Structure 1
Amino acid sequence: MVEDKATRTGFLNILLKWIASKNGHPDRTSSSCRTLSLRSYLVLLVAGTLLPVVLFAVAVVYKLSSQEQAATERRILLATRNLAAIVERELSGTIRTLQVLATSERIEQGNLKNFHREARRVVQTQPSWIAVILLSPEGQQVVNTTRPFGTPLPQAREPASLRRVVETHQPTVGNISPSIFKPIRLGFPVRIPVMRNGKLQYILTAVINQKAIANVVSDQTSIDGEWTRTVVDGKGVVVVRTRDPERFVGQRGTPSFLKRISEANEGIYRDTTLEGRKVYVAFSQVDDTPWTVAITVPVDVIQGPARQAMWLVIGSGLALLLVSGIGSFILSRYISLSITSAALAAEALAKGESPQIKPLLIEEVVFLGQSLEFAANLLSQREQERNENLQRAEAAREEAEAANRMKDEFLAVLSHELRTPLNPILGWSKLLRGGRLDAAKTAFALETIERNAKLQTQLIEDLLDVARIMQGKLSLKTVPVNLVFTINSAIETVRLAAEAKSIDLRFTTLDLGLNNGDSQNPQFLVLGDSARLQQVIWNLLINAVKFTPEGGRVEVRLLRVASQAQIQVIDTGKGIDPNFLPFVFEYFRQEDSKTTRKFGGLGLGLAIVRHLVELHGGTVQADSPGEEQGATFIVSLPLLRDEGIKNTDESSDSSSLTLQSAPLKGLRVLVVDDDLDMRNFLIFTLEQNHAIVTAVGSAREALQALEEKTFALLISDIGMPEMDGYTLMQQIRSRYSQQDRQVRAVGKAMPKAIALTAYAGEHNQQQALQVGFQLHLAKPVEPQALVRAIVDLVNSCQEKP
């Protein structure tokens, strides 16, 4: 911008010197003008004034029209990109909904009849969906929500998109076609792969009504009514068109348009529309789909004003040249004054001042003055933009510094919160080893160690949950869930903490007489993950108990509001500062992050609550009258329409083997862990439940033990020196493969395997299951949880044929 301003200033200085020299002042740029001879004046008038003014005006108009056309083309292309992004977001929303549906346990269990009912419920919640179809990789329909389950179903109608999913294992969008059920409606498929154990099991498809995309596109109206927006599918067939949709939707685009979109992902060029109009066409491909959006603007809309201005300048110049000889003497004074005025305006512009153009009679000079005013306004506008950019840069710098401070504060809090539980654990452990504590103090010490170990475990679990959320790997196992049961379970978890502070913890339900079931025991059924919903309620209750002083009250209310279940957690505690209320659900944000703060924690619980609630299709909000006035958190979740569905999370444990006094009696177990303390813990826990335990410290010792003895169960660590748990499991599987028939002949069956490791990420769990472990447990693990996992694994293996 500085170079541009210097160039303009240099040009204006040359212009001023030329005007002064033509008026007898080669070394001056003042406004005074002297009378010349008629011949000299006519030469100056025709050759030195009118013709340069006309040419200058033409050049200015041409330059401005070129810039305006280029700017318009950029604006059209930008609008096309925005429209492509909007269409992509609409399709991505459908893909995300399908991905959630693809995680259904009905597919995992092969219970396609129940999945058919579940998919129909999802279709009812999506107004733009025509049907949900589950396909085999070969294209055979397995489930179709528009047909009763069990009826014969045809092959997939649109095989091109089906092949893309099979080849890429990625979501895709198909081409538009008439619905076979209602030929009047046009629809297109959105397909996603259903992966199980790294293999493609099914292809889940949602058939979307074409009008859903049409409504999205029609909402993006332009100020200029001449703009036409179009969306075409992978074959170039028009899906949406804002102008004459009845005529062109379903037809292929022009050959030149189809050629352009096949050669590039985006661009702008001149073309002729299907109606025969000359237009500029801007197109952009929708990300990760074969679809393309285009915006067409008539050529006359862009070039018409510039062409009119150009002909106006040229015509006026020619007219002035024709009459200049006749009126030169009469107009000499006016011309002199006009040139002087233009020179003063140019001089003012060169000095950075606003040019003042007096009313004149010479049209070309008037136009020159207008151009100078336009240039002055443009320079002023760019100067203002530069200042605004500087202000935005300063704001961005301050925001980055604030984010950096937040990071440092969070790391300080994280270090404090992770170290704090270690002090009582190590301190009481030393005292216990001294052997000088009586029975009461010993019980107190053990209770303190257990409480602080659980606290540190919860902090780590929160960090892992946030990591999964950031990576988009947090998935739900959705089933019909009774919120009454879920809330009661969460309340029982925090009841001891509330009683320790003498907090009155209450739970009330209000159905307003709308429930068809038992009015004394209303059912609030939602479709969700029972464990994650209990985590939501637990986090809110822990938060309320932590910030409520002794003798306070925490109340949980469950009520029905229209078609929503509303959970209210109300406390009489510290409250929330109104200035912090908008940030209460953000990650790593705490109202008090100083070293003198009264309450601990990492500031992650409420952020996890918001994400889990939104994954269930609900909302969460916080409200507080102010500090020391309590707070209210409200969770809203969509209720299931059919509340007669059995609540699977309340059903009793179906395991045939329960935790008796000796649940593992006679079970031969091989324990592999390089950590001596962990081995001793596992040996003691398993032998207390009457298992026969052999423990080794390395993978090579485990392979040797397997050669010598037969074991029913293997419990192995993953991170070990020389050979890790993954490699150990692979070698065990190779030894017990079909080629090793001698091992089977002597009755040595391959043991069931559990990976017990501190590598607790989702990737680690998938890798453990892929190499052959039947179960993945994260350290630390409680003894009862370990025994229950072993019992469940043994029972599940006994039930298999």
Structure 2
Amino acid sequence: MSILTEKQPDEATAQRLYAMMDRQVTHMVRLIDDLMEVSRITRGKIELRLAPISLDRVVRDAAELSKPLLAAGRHELELDLPPMPCTVQGDGVRLTQVFANLLNNAAKFTPPQGRIVVSLRSDGRTARVQVRDSGVGIPPAMLGSVFDMFVQISDTSRVAQGGLGIGLTLVRSLVELHGGRVTASSPGVNEGTTMMVELPLVSDEAQQVTADTLAAHRRAGQGHRVLVVDDNRDAADSLAELLGLMGASTSVAYGVDEALAAMEACPPTIAFVDIGMPVRDGYELAGLVRADSALADTVLVALTGWGQATDRERIMAAGFDHHLIKPADLEQLTELLRDPPLKRRSGTPLALGGHETACLHAIWP
């Protein structure tokens, strides 16, 4: 920065200096993030969101994340994945991080126009993912220590474009948190490297339970016309999509005026309403809905980040029937939507038929 303030270089030189500073700051932020991740893991501060996930989908997502680095090195990437999914109990975000780190590592330690192959196999109990590259390889004496903190292979810093040797430590920590293990093998220097991740498969019985659970979730919304009201378009669209997968017919509105127009055109059986919207908020919408006899049977659910006892009291006093905290929990949504039929606090049961059915087909997608 002192060069820019004291020397006052020309515009072209200044742009080069700014670009260099940006690269250095980005690199430093990435290193600090990695160090903080390792620190959180070693102190037990990482909480995995475990669920049955398809490992081949995770590998594809990781490959997508690593595309820029692979493209920069003009590497050929081959995905050798089985036709049938391999299901593991894991945190999809963290496992994607594992394989993206391994792909990035392979790309960094492989000279331009190299080849990287990712293969997935299972034996019924264990899923094994290999990330094999044609890069600089690992000396036999270092195979046992490459996953240790700050370990770097000598004479590879130029090829790898810097780094503190944290990425593989993260990989090992996250894999072990999933009950798995990761190992490295290499024939030697300039002979390439193979990283092997082994993870326990979900049993057939557990997969059947999961399938039955998902089927119950999918049936929960059947018979409901749902309107999602939120000025955050991403939040509104994603919740509507989730409710649609649960069997509901859904639509969205991104503000109070738009919601009122949709309700007047075709009253929903249930509306999920954000509270903190600009200009006109969820409280105002609830008041207007409760003043309209045509919407008397519409169940109003406040979906908000406000969760204090005083917030709940105000929400219920405004005319809402239920109060959920963002982000919406699948189990809570299922419990809210499933039988016995959802009712207003007044006890009036929801009905679907006649004019309402025609309205559903005419208005809702």
TM-score of Structure 1 vs Structure 2, range by shorter chain? 0.5 to 0.7
After TM superposition, give the deviation of residue 599 of structure 1 in Å. Answer: 2.9
Residue 622 of structure 1 and its aligned partner are, at CA, apart by 0.2
Instruction: Report the CA distance shift for 1:646/1:552 in structure 2 as closer, same or farther (over 3 A).
Output: farther
User: What is the aligned partner in structure 1 of residue 58 from structure 2?
Assistant: 486
- 2:234 is matched with none
Quote the Cα distance in structure 1 between the aligned partners of 2:59 and 2:157.
Answer: 34
Change (3 A) 1:588 1:664: farther
Q: Which amino acid aligns with 2:33?
A: E
Q: Partner residue of 2:139?
A: 577
Determine the structure 2 residue equivalent to 1:531. Answer: 93
| Contact 1:481–1:647 (CA under 8 A) maintained in structure 2 | no
Amino acid at match of 1:630: G
Shift of 1:602: 2.4
- Structure having greater relative contact order (Cα 8 Å, sep ≥ 6): 2
Note closer, same or farther for the CA distance 1:604–1:647 as it changes in structure 2 (3 Å cut).
farther
* Partner Cα distance (2:160, 2:115) in 1: 19
Cα shift at 1:477: 2.0
Deviations 1:93-127 (A, max 9, x none): xxxxxxxxxxxxxxxxxxxxxxxxxxxxxxxxxxx
Distance 2:76 2:138 in 1: 21
Aligned equivalents of 1:692 and 1:543: distance in 2? Answer: 44
How far apart, CA to CA, are the structure 1 residues paired with 2:55 and 2:111?
A: 27
1:171-210 alignment, distance < 5 Å: none
Per the TM alignment, residue 473 of structure 1 is displaced from its structure 2 partner at its CA by: 2.3
Deviation, structure 1 residue 635: 0.9
The equivalences for 1:488-507 within 5 A come to 488-507=60-79
Query: Alignment partner for residue 474 of structure 1, among 30, 40, 46?
Result: 46
SS of equivalent residue, structure 2 residue 164: coil
How much does 1:632 deviate? 0.5
Distance between the aligned counterparts of 2:202 and 2:71, measured in 1?
Answer: 35
Q: How far apart in 1 are the matches of 2:316 and 2:172?
A: 53
Provide the C-alpha distance between the structure 2 equivalents of 1:467 and 1:473, rounded to a whole number of angstroms.
8
Q: Is the 8 A contact 2:124 2:201 kept in 1?
A: no
Query: d(CA) in 1 for partners of 2:212 and 2:55?
Result: 10
Q: 1 CA distance for matches of 2:114 and 2:40?
A: 35
Using a 3 Å threshold, how does the CA distance of structure 1 residues 522 and 733 change in structure 2: closer, same or farther? closer
**What residue in structure 1 maps to residue 287 of structure 2?**
none
What is the CA-CA distance between 1:639 and the residue it aligns to? 1.7
Matches of 1:559 and 1:614, distance apart in 2: 19
Evaluate the alpha carbon distance shift between residue 774 and residue 736 of structure 1 in structure 2; reply closer, same or farther with a 3 A threshold: closer
- What is the CA-CA distance between 1:647 and the residue it aligns to? 11
Query: Equivalent residue for 2:298?
Result: none
Go from structure 1 to structure 2 and tell me whether the alpha carbon gap of 1:533 and 1:712 turns closer, same or farther (over 3 Å shift).
Answer: same
Counterpart check, 1:655 vs 2:239: yes
Tell me which residue corresponds to 2:293.
none
- Cα 1:597–1:637 shift into 2, 3 Å: closer
Aligned twin of 1:609 = 171
The structure 2 residue matched to 1:564, chosen from 111, 126, 139, is 126
Judged with a 3 Å threshold, the aligned counterparts in structure 2 of structure 1 residues 488 and 597 are, in CA distance, closer, same or farther, namely closer
1:497 is displaced (CA, Å) by: 1.8
Cα shift readout 1:688-741 (whole Å, capped 9, x = no counterpart): xxx976xxxxxxxxxxxxxxx87569xxxxxxxxxxxxxxx99x9587575xx7
Superposition pairs of residues 770-785 of structure 1, within 5 angstroms: none
Alpha carbons of structure 1 residues 624 and 508: separation in structure 2 relative to 1, 3 Å: same
Query: Is this contact kept in 2: 1:575–1:630, CA < 8 A?
Result: yes
Aligned to 1:675: none
What is the TM-score when the length of structure 1 is the normalising length? 0.27
Question: In the aligned structure 1, how far is the partner of 2:56 from the partner of 2:212?
Answer: 11
Distance verdict in 2 for CA 1:525–1:664, change over 3 Å:
same
Distance 1:566 1:734, change over 3 A: closer
The structure with more helix, counted as a fraction of residues: 1
CA-CA distance at 1:617 after TM superposition? 1.8
Contact 1:490 1:534 in 2 (8 A): yes
1:744–1:486 distance in 2 versus 1, CA, 3 Å:
closer
Q: Give the partner amino acid of 1:655.
A: L
CA contact (8 A) 1:481 1:648 kept: no
Cα distance in 2 between the residues matched to 1:551 and 1:503: 5
In 1: Cα distance, 2:54 partner to 2:48 partner: 16
The separation in 1 between residues aligned to 2:253 and 2:22, in whole angstroms, is: 24
Q: CA deviation at 1:637?
A: 1.4
Pair 1:533–1:626, CA change in 2 (3 A):
same
CA positional deviation for 1:539: 0.9
Secondary structure of the residue aligned to 1:498 is: helix
Separation in structure 1 between the aligned mates of residue 26 and residue 34 of structure 2, nearest angstrom:
12
Residue 522 of structure 1 deviates from its aligned partner by 1.4
1:582-622 alpha-carbon deviations (Å, 9 max, x no partner): 11111232234999785322212111111221222222110
Q: For residue 84 of structure 2, give the secondary structure of its aligned residue in structure 1.
A: coil
Q: Of 157, 164, 181, which residue of structure 2 is paired with 1:619?
A: 181
Letter in 2 for 1:541: L
Secondary structure at the aligned position of 2:196 is classed as strand
Which whole-Å CA distance do the structure 2 matches of 1:640 and 1:604 have between them? 30
Determine the C-alpha separation between the residues in 2 that align with 1:712 and 1:453. Answer: 42
Number of aligned positions between the proteins: 256
The residue identity in structure 2 corresponding to 1:618 is: G
Quote the offset at 1:460 in angstroms.
Answer: 3.3
Aligned to 2:34: 462
C-alpha separation in 1, matches of 2:29 and 2:212: 30
**CA distance in structure 2 between the aligned counterparts of 1:449 and 1:499, rounded to whole angstroms:** 23
The letter for the 2-side match of 1:480 is P
Tell me which residue corresponds to 2:292: none
1:480, 1:648 within 8 Å by CA — same for their partners in 2? no
**Distance in 2 between residues matched to 1:648 and 1:456, nearest whole Å:** 44
Structure 2: runs of 5 or more not aligned: 219-236, 243-251, 258-275, 284-304, 338-343, 345-365
Q: Secondary structure at the match of 1:655?
A: helix
Aligned to 2:288: none
Match of 1:587 among 149, 152, 155: 149
Q: 1:710 to 1:568 in 2, by over 3 A?
A: same
Aligned twin of 2:203: 641
Alignment of 1:106-255 (within 5 A): none
Preserved CA contact (<8 Å) 2:76 2:115: yes
How far residue 461 of structure 1 moved from its aligned partner, in angstroms, is 3.0
1:630 and 2:192 matched? yes
Deviations 1:429-480 (A, max 9, x none): x99xx9x79xxxx9x9999998877655543332222111111222322211
CA distance in 2, matches of 1:636, 1:598: 26
Distance 2:29 2:90 in 1: 25
| 1:659-670 mapped onto 2 (5 Å cutoff) | 664-665=254-255
Give the corresponding residue for 2:261.
none
1:583 partner SS: coil
TM-score by structure 2 length?
A: 0.55
User: Is contact 2:256-2:280 (8 Å) kept?
Assistant: no
Mapping 1:77-92, distance limit 5 Å: none
1:740-769 residue CA offsets vs partner (Å, 9 max, x unmatched): x7x997x699xx9xxxxxxxxxxxxxxxxx
Distance 1:450 1:597, change over 3 A: closer
Instruction: Report matched runs for 1:544-563 at 5 Å.
Output: 544-561=106-123, 563=125
Aligned residue type for 1:487: V
Query: After superposition, where does 1:52-451 map in structure 2 within 5 Å?
Result: none
Separation in structure 1 between the aligned mates of residue 157 and residue 127 of structure 2, nearest angstrom: 40
* Rounded Cα–Cα distance in structure 2 between residues aligned with 1:591 and 1:606: 12
SS at match of 1:461: helix
Question: Residues 605 and 506 of structure 1: is their aligned pair in 2 closer, same or farther, counting only changes over 3 Å?
Answer: same
Contact 2:256 2:282 in 1 (8 A): no
Deviation digits for residues 390-425 of structure 1 (CA, Å, limit 9, x no counterpart): xxxxxxxxxxxxxxxxxxxxxxxxxxxxxxxx99xx
1:638 Cα deviation (Å)? 1.7
Question: CA shift at 1:523, angstroms?
Answer: 1.6
